Structure 1
Amino acid sequence: MKNTLLFIVMLSLLIACAPQEAPSPPETAPEFASSEDTPESNDQPEEGLNNETSSPREVISPENTSRITQISILGKGTLNDIAWSPDGTILAFGTSAGVYLYDGHTFEALRDIKTGYSVTALAFSPAGDKLAMGSIFADVFIYHLNENSTPQKLDRRTGEHIGSITCLAFSESGNFLVSSDTYNNVRIWDLENNVETQILIGQYGSIQSVAFTQNDTAVVSVSSGQSIHSMYLWDVQSGVQLQTWEIGSDATGLSSFAMALSPNGSQLFHSKDDNSIEIIDMASGNVLMPLIYVGESPIFGLESSTSGNFLAVGNWEDEIHVWDAVSGIELSQFDGHQGRIMNIAFSPDDQLIVSSDSTGIVHIWNPNEGSIIATMDDFVESQGTMALTTDWSALATPMEINTIQLMNINAQTVLTIEGHTQIVNDVAISPDGKTLVSCSEDRTVRFWDIETGSQTNQGDFLCNALAFSPNNNLLAIKSWDGHVLLLNEETGESALLTGGLGYAWSQSDIAFSADSTMVAAGRDHQVFVWDAINQINLYALAGHTDEIYGIAFSPDNKTLASSSLDGSILLWNLETGSQIVSLKANNNGVRTLAFSPSGQLLASGGEDGCITIWDLSSMEPIRCLGGHNRWVLRVAFSPDGKQIVSGGADSTFRFWGVP
């Protein structure tokens, strides 16, 4: 980098808006994915990304897109659930990428279970030989730990819904399993025959917990509605609803009501409007004891210990309070998390708690003292954005805890880069592979040495998108308010391309043409194209009806593609500035675009979780690659055209190709 400090004054002159957090979409299967594109069909290699048996051998073309498969996956995904084995020797973590088993004493990784689907719920059998896994597509799988075999899918005989599995619980004998889903159905499964025996329908509100009770002859489920909270008792053999109780109401209509069953179904814990907690005996329906929660923050979640003698209470202030449920005494308070509490689980002997937060950080701690035993950062969530070296040997991605991970794809090593004090918005790698640039909500743009991870320079600017020119001479820096700064790395000079344009909200990418002569970015509903050499505006392209997201130049520099929250992709003629065609991708936003090196194909990724491959000769979609269970935020073709990589809001990077 040469004289890059010269652009700091220009950076500090620009005023930018703070970003708005994007809501998570419903976790459903991609709308137009065929059955072969569902995550279950994607073969997952057991080794790293350089697995020779699954490496792509053909250049991706319109003729072979039907044979594209997921080659490998990078990242452990978004953490959804945690479970201890009954003997405490194994900790299981269910994520959007699969299941990861850790030693319950040393907390070291033991085994990865490559599922190919998002695992939303976990439960160990009483004997500890089976692990039940619920998927995002309403299926339940059984994994036999002693056999280390492929998880076996249970036969669902009723219902066509595709809601995620939310809760799982084994019977005391281990012969039956009960599950609930986001469509408020409760199913009972016969594990000797691996089939569904009953579906229990008729509950109001979101199901919070399920358990077997009364010596496995009944199932209890508890649900929370907007203002009515209920408990249901069901006969296991007939599926008949035996009893219903209203266990409280929320006069405010807020969603702060929380419930949890003890593992054996004998007790119900639930919060009340006054922030107190009631313990109800399931046999009599009597209130055993109120626990007086003194915190002012609303209760977010409850978790009972294995014995039922202890209760953990999570609140909206990222705290966890632990109570002795027998004496009613609060034992400890844990405030080690920096994000919203997502999961809480007691060890079988009640001596440890494992908990995770919205950043993906996992803490193991002593519930009697609130002291940390161990911390795991294996599941820290990535932002889903990425930058790759030109030879695709390394990938950089911002993480939720203000760090950047630089991953060596071939060696399977990770370098963590620290320095930013707030969330990192974007990263870019110079074409010569020597420099990494990052921008953050801490209003800085930082330059890093790729080999060492050390910071080499810094400028002050609230930036949300970065791009290097292919010739390695220019760096484009875009702000939330739509301003674009062009930095010449050879001379250190900078130019404001948007001078005189004023404020315009911009969440879009920024991109250079292949010959480095043009740069483009979105401003509100328009796409602006500039001459990068003479620093003048060439076009202001109007056609989208909502915010611009994706920007991509064709390899021959003749066409520009843009995508938007309006669900469309527009192709533009760069010689005339006229619109060539409008492609309707879906009813949701299209977040990212990439041309294939041949220019024959366009890949798009969006809020439906699908990577759509477009044939540009027919202007038709010819394949949907389903795998991500949340938004696809980045997509790119490899320089040789043999691979596609996609980055998702599910904290995974998936590599695709024709084996």
Structure 2
Amino acid sequence: MQTIDYSAFISYSHAGDGRLAPALRHGLQAFAKPWHALRALRVFCDSASMRANAGLWTSLEAALASSAFFVLLASPDAAASRWVGREVEFWRANKRSENCLIVLTEGELQWDPVTGDFDWTRTTALPPQCKGMFGEEPLYVDLRWARTADDLSLRHPRFRSAVAEVAAALHGRPKDELIGEDVRLHRRARRLALTAVASLVALTLLSVGGAVVALDQRESARQQARVALSRQLAVQAAASATVNPRLSQLQSLAAWQSMHTVEARGQLLTAQRQNYDGTFVGHAGRVRTLDVSPDGRLLASGGDDSTVRLWDTASRTQVAKLEGHDSAVLAVAFSPDGSTLASGKLGRTGDEQTIKIWDVRTRTLRTGLSPGSVSTVAFSPDGLLAYALADKQVHLWDLQSGREVRRLAGHTGFISTIAFSPDGRRIATGSNTDGDNGVRLWDARSGRLLKAFSGHLAAVSDLAFSPDGALLASASRDASVRLWNVPALAFERQLLAGDDTLYTVAFSGNGKQVLAGGALEFVHVWDVDDGERNANHIGPTTGLWSVAVSRDGRSVYASDELGTITRWERGVSAFDAGARINGAAYSGDGSLLATASDDGTVRISDAGTLKPLHLLVHPRRAMASGVVFSPDGRRVASTWTDNTVRIWDARTGRALHSYEFGRCPLRATCQAQSLSFDSTGTRLLVTRGPLIDRNDLRSLSSEHDQVAVLDVEHGRWTVLWEPTDEAAGSGADTSAMLVVHSARGGAFAAGLSDGRVLLWDDESLEPLPGLPAPPGSGDELPTTGLAFSPDGRTLVAGHASGLVQWWDPASRTVEHRRQSGSSYPRGIHYSPDGRTIAIGGEDGLVRLWDADSRTVSATITAHGLMTNGLAISPDSRTLVTTSDDSTAHVYSLDARVAVERLCRSLRGPSLQQEWDALDAAVPEHPC
């Protein structure tokens, strides 16, 4: 006979009754419980009774078989649940149906006396397995009213009565008798408890006082120690970032694990944007060459240990060790389809194959060539293999026919590098031998020399074509990269790397940056258009030797002399607009993201997937200078350089209105600059300013500037400020810079080029006391960023001097802070939760300020060029930045996401050992 271990088995839907079922179990076990017993009844409820195990149904079946009663929590969710149906089916087959008790939590139960069963056309709360289960209409307990935590307490009279009704059936006693027993036992337990308490109070009072004080002091000391350790580790992490990024990430995690301080959170967010993304360890000695497969899933490496290794880029694990070379491997290259890998070595012994062709899928040797000492190999887009030999020539080999099809002769020195243009029509070659420091460009089909470029002062170490094939980059040991115009066969620009000796060069995926690595252990990054070396460099490593960039430009792999390959993850762009992006905005519900660009468009994208939904195009292709959503998210408004404000339907992309911002006598010099909706969405605060070079703050003056409010329904303008309204004799030459609205503070604000901030009541439009200009003069003054806190009590203003002001309009108090370096703020955005203030900079960095302490807690390397716009999502978890480099970048402000990101890059066999070496007081790592 089956042993009865449980008085009842509760069957329920987790989706519908995940809170009610445990509450009912607790009530049944506590109701009428003798004071000396652990529980009145033993009730099975899977959320509380089961341990983790592989056999879920086996455990449920055993519990069902050993239960006396079956309590079914009936609801539409339970009716649709596969598990509830299976439990009912088991009970019917193995137990008595009259021992099934129904508790209705949602839906309907309707009995049909004619059929002697439930009316299944109207009953919605029972699973189909209950059909014909009951011989007569069962009584059931109705708990559809119980919805809150207070409802599900035995202190609630209705819930207590419902529990008593179910408990009476389980105990086999009348309900009123059981309630009386519960009252009697409760009173007895209370008397015993009071007696015991009275006996212990005197002794307890003597000891508790001292113990509590001691415990409080000890806990306070522990908290202070953890806070101090957290802050210390955050400081150490910041110091390690430019020397040892892996250690910096470990210390950042440890700081957060020790205590969630402001400093730890800031360093955690900073560390997740460090480019470091883990290492690949396996080679013994220097890794000389790298290549990434076309799909980015595999990395090939060759080194001084005479091996070629294949790595899975997602897991950073070695998937193959290809052996056969007898000396250092100098070159590896994937075929265009990624199915074949070629490797080459320097030197030759007898008939040893200096070039080996590997099958990537099977990880086996397919064939080999024995041409002699090989310095470099490369595949053409149509699958030809090119290699350079000691004979100072490039050989083109058809692998299918097994014969040489062409030779390129003309270099007088050792050929160090070969590159094919993306269309396969051009071949570039470079020499690393003194006396032949040139780059040669060839016609791939005929082998004819098109141009011999000269200008490097030392050996050419690497070549790369831009994605469109229009530019050729050559890196040299003379610390320079030279860009060559391929169609014009002419020199374009020189990029300088200080005193570095450059070994490798590559283009980013969008072709807008050039990357080069060298002996100084950093990968330098330049902007192609202006040749500026930007702060978004990659590194450091130890003795950097080779660099490979994934085809999408997101991952950079750098090898070193110690046999380690480091991956650096470059900032991921939401999209590349192809032109400067001047601003970004989230819709109120966070579902849409809008950006405004110099190419005459406003883009509306899905904020989650970043998939473009609508492209709003100006009919005359004027530049879009600003963008904002209405509070309800149904409309998007934008300002344009033709002095207009345009409003669109955000969901359909349909143009709704176009309004000219007043009359401009010199219309070609006027533009609507910035704008903000009021809380009702019926009015827009807009500034008009001059068409200027946004990189030159000295050109800000214009006599036609205005700040005005636009009635968007009727197209009426109300001018709030213009230079002619200034006090007579001031002589001020002042421009309106930007505007912002505080929904809760009830004010409009506008920043001016002379450093002042003006305020107006957002209902009456009457002027309010404003913020005077900060200390300084001339170019230091212009207001370049403005934001209200979510509660409207604080206004943050940034100025061209790098000064940031915190202003309380109510008390008229001002607090000053200054951004580090010489960077002036380029946009300010308060997070909706009020914790963080994001301030962009002309240096391409975004600094995250802690709103309470008013200090910089994190610095994000956002763009290589100036940051123009910022937006923080309504849930305060995501930051979007836009820039002169035409890209929009997305960053997480969620500490949990940052922890996951760092864990992904740090995971490996050495993690625990590295973590243990940090500090004995650091808690266990979260990875």
The two structures have a TM-score, normalised by structure 2, of: 0.36
Q: Flag the structure with higher helix content.
A: 2
The higher radius of gyration belongs to 2
The two structures have a TM-score, normalised by structure 1, of: 0.49
